[in-house]
């Protein structure tokens, strides 16, 4: 069973990514959060996740960082998430750069909408 956390402030994107994960992993257990703070609170409960998907642009509380950047930094403080795959799915113009700097995977939202293979590629699914 894959346990997946999805953080995005837009319900349509949470639902879309949930549907994709259910298609890729028939035994997926999905938890969603509508902002970085809520995702962080979920992490604090001690749940283990195999995959964490986050948007970058959510609440503005972390400026000059984007909320997703802040969330990834928080994820990195937990030893239990050291092997968790982290994927940024964002429309932000600098999403790929941020993903590269933070050593995580990235799918631009424009690609995510039309390309299931992008999910398979970043998650290492054949």
Tell whether the model's pLDDT for residue 126 goes beyond 90: no
CA gap 121, 126 in Å, rounded: 8
Q: Supply the CATH number for residue 34's domain.
A: 3.40.50.2300
- Tell me the average pLDDT across 76-98: 96
Q: Could you tell me the residue range of the domain that residue 18 belongs to? A: 3-123
- 4 — pLDDT class (breaks 50, 70, 90): very high
Specify burial of residue 41 (Cβ count, 10 A radius: 0-12, 13-18, 19+): exposed
- Tell me the average pLDDT across 89-104: 96
pLDDT in tens, 39-65: 999 999 999 999 999 999 999 999 999
Name residue, tokens 């968790």. Answer: 84
CA gap 9, 87 in Å, rounded: 16
Domain count, the chain: 1
Instruction: Give the strand order in the sheet containing 105-108.
Output: 29-33, 3-7, 51-54, 85-90, 105-108
CA gap 85, 74 in Å, rounded: 14
């Amino acid at each position: 069973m894959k346990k997946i956390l999805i953080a995005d402030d837009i319900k349509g994107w949470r639902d879309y990514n949930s549907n994709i994960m259910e298609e890729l992993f028939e035994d997926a257990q999905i938890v969603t959060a509508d902002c970085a703070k809520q995702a962080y609170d979920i992490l604090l409960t001690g749940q283990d996740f195999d995959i964490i998907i986050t948007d970058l642009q959510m609440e503005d509380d972390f400026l000059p960082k984007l909320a997703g950047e802040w969330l990834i930094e928080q994820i990195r403080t937990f030893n239990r998430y050291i092997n968790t795959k982290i994927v940024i799915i964002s429309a932000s113009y600098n999403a790929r750069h941020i993903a590269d700097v933070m050593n995580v995977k990235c799918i631009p939202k424009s690609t995510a909408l039309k390309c299931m293979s992008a999910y398979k590629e970043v998650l290492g699914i054949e």
